[in-house]
Amino acid sequence: MMLILRRPPVSPYVIEMYEWFDRPKVISLILEYPQPCKVLRKFITDLHKLNELISRSLMCQLVLAVQHCIDHGVFHNDIHADNILVNTCSLELKLIDFGCAHLVDSNGYNSTQYLGKLAFCITVYFVFYYCIGMETSCRDLISQCLNRSPAKRLTLEQILQHEWLNNQC
């Protein structure tokens, strides 16, 4: 999957693979190592609460990362707060760990193929839901993303255009 994501255009929001080595029984990846950074869970814990400006920026970057993956035919399949790095100086986000990823074909995404931990299925939305002030437009965005009916959920494009993101993406 990392080879596919490496094809231009690359995304600043997805961890970059520099090189890879295929040896018997082992594949070694040489990946970007942004510094200083923390996983999103630790970043939030250390801050105690995300402010709305930071939350918007991180959500925007995350949606752009996911959109980049989908545009390249890759479904991450395990997005949660420990698979997102945040640069503590620049607040730039990187989506990491594509171990559960699979290809998206012309039929799209098969929701029965989710391979990640069940507890993290919708964590990203809950992370933002609980860590920021409950502004009405933020609640609206989250509730539309969590709609029980997949057909009624927002698309990535609709998320990027949602009023809560204030055209920051």
CATH number at residue 156: 1.10.510.10
The confidence score (pLDDT) of residue 72 equals 93
Per-residue pLDDT tens listing for the chain (169 residues): 888 998 999 999 999 999 999 999 999 999 999 999 999 989 988 987 778 788 888 989 999 999 999 899 998 988 888 999 999 999 999 999 999 898 887 766 665 554 444 443 445 555 555 555 566 788 788 888 877 887 888 888 888 898 888 767 7
Active site residue 78: yes
Number of compact structural domains in the chain? 1
How many C-beta atoms lie closer than 10 Å to residue 65's C-beta? 23
Q: What residue numbers bound the domain in which 122 lies?
A: 2-165
- Among 22, 46, 78, 140, the one annotated catalytic: 78
